[in-house]
Chains A and B, each alone.
Chain A
Amino acid sequence: MEVTETWYLLLSALLFALGATGLLIRRNPLVMFMCVELMLNAVNISFVAFSNALDDLSGQTAVFFVLVVAAAEVVVGLSLTVAVLRRRPEATADDIASLRG
């Protein structure tokens, strides 16, 4: 028995689905962010699996950029969350609807 790229892609699909499910069912904005990170990691597994299977480096380069953008996204997202939660410590994702005009 040998580990083929199909195994990695199946694992990646499962992780992505779990992340999406978490994003939909959790209401704490911080945990929702963590679920986005799960989905990004699932995509990274796919990229590296394809890169390895096709002997092509582009997949790894893509993962590198995903990492950088994920870091920027987390910084901005968390500071937005801090700005909201500092005023309303009990806020959930639903309460951000009060931002509407």
Chain B
Amino acid sequence: MIDVIVFAISALIIIGGAIGVIALPNPVHAALSLIATFFGVAVLFVQQEAHFLALVQVVVYAGAIVVLFLFVIMLLGVDRAQELGVEPLAGQRAAGVAVGAVLLALVVGGLFLSGDPDRGGAVALTGQSGQVVPTVEGEQDVIQLARDLFTRHLLTFEATGILLTVATVGAVVLVRARGAEDLILDEPGTAQH
């Protein structure tokens, strides 16, 4: 029973935060709603015994990524509310909501219509419950995750190191101001075509 209550509360937080992100006009408020969603997801991870991932979720997502978003928003001073009433492309908003609804219907339909209808969920979608790396009962998830990462996925792990280095260098190259004249803001609309 306590499981259901925890799930219901975190689901409410997640969905509320997500609606906040897509509906709040001010980007700062959207970023703060995003934190709510990330914390809700972290609670769900704890509930499913993925403790290490819950920790990383809070530290990396709710910590680093949202702070990065807020930094960029504040740094650029784009924290003005977006005029949500303006719709430059007629019907874009209705079409976007329709596409989202169709996507939801497709995924939920796939969830309930495929595979063995009596069993539902994961087994219905995958058709089988073949295990690649069985979890070990009673062992901490971080130990199991580390063993899997540094044996089966060692090359991938090294590749992510290269990816992060490339991303860091790329960010420095993209954002670096090349000279004083680069810092002068162009008037909007006067960019050369």
Contact = CB atoms under 8 A, between A and B. Distances in A.
Q: Which of A4, A10, A64 counts the most chain B CB atoms within 10 A? A: A64
A76 B167 contact: yes
Contacts of B92: 24-25
Contact of B18 (A19, A52, A82, A91): A19
Interface string A33-57: 1110110010011001111111111
Interface in B79-116: 82, 88-89, 92-93, 95-97, 99-101, 103-104, 107-108, 111
Contacts of B27: 28, 30-31
Contacts of B34: 34, 37-38
B186 A87 contact: yes
Contacts of A31: 21-22, 27, 30, 82
Contacts of A69: 160, 163
Contacts of A67: 53, 56-57, 60-61
B44 to A, nearest CB: 6
Nearest to A22: B22
Contacts of A56: 131-135
A20 B99 contact: yes
A37 B107 CA distance: 19
Nearest to B72: A78
Contacts of A75: 68, 167-168, 170-171
A91 B190 CA distance: 12
Contacts of B37: 15, 38, 41
A52 B21 contact: no
Interface string B136-157: 0000010011001100110010
Contacts of B15: 11, 14-15, 18
Contact of B188 (A34, A57, A90): A90
Interface in A67-86: 67-76, 78-83, 85-86
Nearest to B168: A75
Interface in B143-193: 144-145, 148-149, 152-153, 156, 160, 163-164, 166-168, 170-171, 174-175, 185-186, 188, 191, 193
Closest A-B pairs by Cβ, 5 of them:
A21-B100, A22-B22, A24-B96, A17-B104, A72-B167
Interface of A: 1-11, 13-22, 24-28, 30-31, 33-35, 37-38, 41, 44-45, 48-58, 60-61, 63-65, 67-76, 78-83, 85-91, 94, 98
Given A8-B44, A69-B160, A88-B185, 17 more contacts: A4-B120, A5-B121, A9-B121, A13-B104, A16-B107, A18-B19, A30-B27, A30-B72, A49-B122, A51-B48, A53-B121, A58-B148, A61-B145, A67-B61, A75-B167, A82-B72, A86-B185
